[in-house]
Amino acid sequence: MELKLYVDRMSQPSRAILIFCKANGIEFEEVKIELAKGQHRTPEFAAEVNPMKQVPAIAHGDFKLFESHAILIYLASAFSGVADHWYPADVQKRAKIHSVLDWHHSNLRRGSVGYIFNSIIGLAFGLPSNPEAAAKGEKLLSASLQTIESFWLNGDGPFLLGNSKPSVADLALVCEIMQIEVADENDRERILGPHKKVLKWIADTKDAIAPHFDEIHSIMLPFKEKLKELKAQASN
Amino acid sequence: MELKLYVDRMSQPSRAILIFCKANGIEFEEVKIELAKGQHRTPEFAAEVNPMKQVPAIAHGDFKLFESHAILIYLASAFSGVADHWYPADVQKRAKIHSVLDWHHSNLRRGSVGYIFNSIIGLAFGLPSNPEAAAKGEKLLSASLQTIESFWLNGDGPFLLGNSKPSVADLALVCEIMQIEVADENDRERILGPHKKVLKWIADTKDAIAPHFDEIHSIMLPFKEKLKELKAQASN
């Protein structure tokens, strides 16, 4: 059955799904949906791919699915050959991963999107920056990073929940944090700098999923340069 | 193994978990954590039950878990005798339920909490109402109800995804919407009234989980009366 991934590599949940497939040898067709061009908002996309007009979304034969966590779990469950550590069969280990992913929705993800979109990525969509909303996002983002530092990484292993190998939760959360890479150096240092365990965990996750992690994130550098230009234009 | 549920029946995700256990004959001890008294914010609660200082949380023997969706899925998976319709074994049916629950986080739940907390429930915590935040919450809540009406209930059966019997997603979402019952009649009619399919689905869910659904929600009426008093005091 053919697997199509409807993604934009600028989107952090899209990258998580691309990396997951590459790391697990799952064959797919990448259908590029350019958010900055509004390709996710067309009536065709809503009718045929995702009525919520968002990426990522997938089609696996006739089966369609959206919401990135649901997609990661589906891919880990539906394809043979995905190692157990990504989404363990054990009911209690699995429940802990669901708990991290649910927490992510209302905390790290919400803070990160609030900060990044309102401070810089909105510029790529022709929107002005919104310092008040960005500050609110940064507050939740920083509190979430502190919770990862002091609680979710408070185990024996290098990954979330003290695991020795990454799960879909590590991939989803690290890809989210990688979006901060598009911020400028000062912002990045202010937000991520205080969280040493988080920085080590990001490095460990990159290493564990090499070379796919860096390959899919290679789009970030040119994007960062482009945003720098837009930011300079906006402040002139 | 003993199952303890740390809950406050005023909290919609707490009610979903209580109802799920009762409907499936899962024995438990209900440990009442009164949010209005701040019992979820004590150092003991954070250390022994849930570091995020929220309800619901569970302890199943030595295993501890928080986040209500993760708890519902865990209970459906760990206890024998839970009918398949609650959380189907089929990978694709299960994926669709994850998709609804993920969507819920950023839409219905976020809108509902934003509206209810800022318009009325904050009063029970001694906080003033915040009309601007309440209006923002109501906008997202109404859009989410419209999405349930036109998309999630757009199937052959009476439940979400066109299912013929309720899943954990129906339970989680309907319990969320029941919180609107504490609003006054005009607010309730304005918000829920336009969504006829949603109203039928709420009634069908109540019927399918009788008598447990109404039993656990019986706390709502006295709570509504208490909030009416607080609202009258606040506006004087």
Q: Do A99 and B63 touch (CB under 8 A)?
A: no
* A221 and A109 co-located in one domain: yes
Render each residue's pLDDT in chain A as its tens digit; 236 residues.
899 999 999 999 999 999 999 999 999 999 999 998 999 999 999 999 999 999 999 999 999 999 999 999 999 999 999 999 999 999 999 999 999 999 999 999 999 999 998 888 888 778 888 899 999 999 999 999 999 999 999 999 999 999 999 999 999 999 999 998 888 888 999 999 999 999 999 999 999 999 999 999 999 888 888 888 888 887 77
* B108 and B217 co-located in one domain: yes
B17, B77, B99, B140: best to mutate for the A interface, most A CBs within 10 A: B99
H/E stretch holding A7: strand A3-7
pLDDT for residue A183: 80
**Contact residues, chain A, for B149 at CB < 8 Å:** none
**Contact residues, chain B, for A69 at CB < 8 Å:** 98, 102
**Contact residues, chain B, for A65 at CB < 8 Å:** 95-96, 99
Q: Do A73 and B99 touch (CB under 8 A)?
A: no
Question: Residues of chain B whose C-beta is under 8 A from some C-beta in A?
Answer: 51-52, 63, 65-71, 73-74, 77-78, 91-92, 94-96, 98-99, 101-103, 105-106, 110, 147, 151
* A169 and A228 co-located in one domain: yes
Q: Nearest CA to CA, how far is A74 from chain B (Å)?
A: 6
* A12 and A112 co-located in one domain: no
pLDDT for residue A122: 82
The residue among B65, B82, B99 that closes a domain is B82
H/E stretch holding A204: helix A196-208
DSSP letter string, A39-74: GGGSHHHHHHT-TT--S-EEEETTEEEESHHHHHHH
Nearest-CA residue of chain B relative to A66? B99
Q: Which domain holds residue A9?
A: 3-82
* A132 and A170 co-located in one domain: yes
**Contact residues, chain B, for A103 at CB < 8 Å:** 52, 67
pLDDT for residue A123: 80
* A103 and A211 co-located in one domain: yes
Q: Do B151 and A51 touch (CB under 8 A)?
A: yes
CATH at residue B92: 1.20.1050.10
Q: Which of A74, A105, A151 sits opposite B105 (nearest CB)?
A: A105
Q: Do A78 and B92 touch (CB under 8 A)?
A: yes
* A38 and A92 co-located in one domain: no
Q: Do A94 and B77 touch (CB under 8 A)?
A: yes
Tokens 């797919």 belong to residue: A28
ipTM of the complex: 0.96
Q: Which of B91, B92, B102 sits opposite A69 (nearest CB)?
A: B102
Tokens 């564990």 belong to residue: A208
Cα gap B101→B78, rounded to integer Å:
19
Cα gap A61→A67, rounded to integer Å:
18
Q: Do B92 and A74 touch (CB under 8 A)?
A: yes
Residues of chain B under the 70 pLDDT cut: none
Q: How many domains does chain B have?
A: 2
* B99 and B216 co-located in one domain: yes
Question: Residues of chain A whose C-beta is under 8 A from some C-beta in B?
Answer: 51-52, 63, 65-71, 73-74, 77-78, 91-92, 94-96, 98-99, 101-103, 105-106, 110, 147, 151
DSSP letter string, chain B: --EEEEE-TTSHHHHHHHHHHHHTT---EEEE--GGGTGGGSHHHHHHT-TT--S-EEEETTEEEESHHHHHHHHHHHSTT--GGGS-SSHHHHHHHHHHHHHHHHTHHHHHHHHHHHHTGGGGGTPPP-HHHHHHHHHHHHHHHHHIIIIIT-SSSSSGGG-SS--HHHHHHHHHHHGGGGS-HHHHHHHHTT-HHHHHHHHHHHHHTTTHHHHHHTTHHHHHHHHHHHHHHHH-
pLDDT for residue B207: 97
* B114 and B63 co-located in one domain: no
* A14 and A107 co-located in one domain: no
pLDDT for residue A225: 87
Q: Quick one: DSSP state of residue A194?
A: T
The residue among A82, A107, A128 that closes a domain is A82
pLDDT for residue A34: 95
* A126 and A158 co-located in one domain: yes
Q: Nearest CA to CA, how far is A58 from chain B (Å)?
A: 12
Helices B12-23 and B68-78, packing angle to 10 deg: 10
The residue among A82, A102, A132 that closes a domain is A82
Q: Nearest CA to CA, how far is A210 from chain B (Å)?
A: 28
* A25 and A93 co-located in one domain: no
**Contact residues, chain B, for A66 at CB < 8 Å:** 99
Q: Closest by alpha carbon to B109, among B25, B175, B161, B42?
A: B175
Strand order in the sheet with B63-66: B29-32, B3-7, B57-60, B63-66
Terminal Cα-to-Cα distance of chain B (whole angstroms): 52
pLDDT for residue A124: 77
Cα gap B170→B202, rounded to integer Å:
9
